[in-house]
Amino acid sequence: MTQAQAVLQILYFFLPAYLANMSPVLVRPWLRSLAVPIDGGKTLWGKRLLGDHKTWRGLLAGIFVGMITYELQRLINEAGFAKGLMLIDYAAQPLLPGLLMGLGAGVGDAVKSFFKRRIDIEPGASWPVFDQLDFFIGAYLFVAPITAPPLLPTLASMPIIFLGNVASEVVGYWLGFKETWI
């Protein structure tokens, strides 16, 4: 297998996490009753634990989208397509990896917000690199007990994921979904 193929496998494997990470901003017009802050308004040293932008709705949307995306990948696998991209035995591993990637993406994002609040970065203000890779590190750590993706291609995929996220953010900003372009 070439290095490029190994990186492509990582990108394909983490597609559920990538889409989960994009989902909170897309579900904002719906499910208002779930749009409550995860931190319940609590503070630490006078500053919000996570802030208003981290809601149960966003976290649940990510878990849902992570699972749906993973299940679609399982169907693609079952149909015999894209075999060279498979890093995991999709037939033997239903649901849980998708759930873990969706949850891990959301937890990674929330942990990053925790640190943003500690260093006085307002909710929605950008913290480059951390904002783009938080979900990926979270998803990796959560899914690793089931399938630990090889480290070198994982590291090599990070600049691509960073740039992919900047591109989605620019498009999201342009379409009016996001407050900042990065």
Pairwise CA distance, residues 47 & 150, whole Å:
38
Region of residue 148 (phi > 0: left; psi between -120 and 50: alpha; otherwise: beta): beta
Q: Do residues 143 and 100 make contact, with C-beta atoms less than 8 angstroms apart?
A: yes
| Residue at token pair 């959301």 | 106
- What is the radius of gyration, based on Cα positions, of the chain? 17
- Considering only residues 105 through 134, tell me which ones interact with Mg ion, judged by CB under 5 A: 131
H helices, E strands: number in the chain: 6, 2
Q: Do residues 95 and 149 make contact, with C-beta atoms less than 8 angstroms apart?
A: no
**Which residue of the chain is nearest Mg ion when measured via CB?**
131
Q: Smaller CB distance to ligand CTP: residue 51 or 97?
A: 51
Q: Which does 54 bind (CB under 5 to 8 A by kind): Mg ion, ligand CTP, none?
A: ligand CTP
- Considering only residues 15 through 74, tell me which ones interact with ligand CTP, judged by CB under 6 A: 24-25, 28, 51, 53-55, 57-59
The amino acid present at 132, given as its one-letter code, is Q
Q: Smaller CB distance to Mg ion: residue 39 or 131?
A: 131
Q: Smaller CB distance to Mg ion: residue 74 or 112?
A: 112
Q: Which does 58 bind (CB under 5 to 8 A by kind): ligand CTP, Mg ion, none?
A: ligand CTP
**Which residue of the chain is nearest ligand CTP when measured via CB?**
58
- Considering only residues 97 through 136, tell me which ones interact with ligand CTP, judged by CB under 6 A: 106, 109, 113, 116, 123-124
Q: Which helix (H) or strand (E) holds 43?
A: strand 43-44
Q: Which residues bind ligand CTP (CB under 6 A)?
A: 24-25, 28, 51, 53-55, 57-59, 106, 109, 113, 116, 123-124
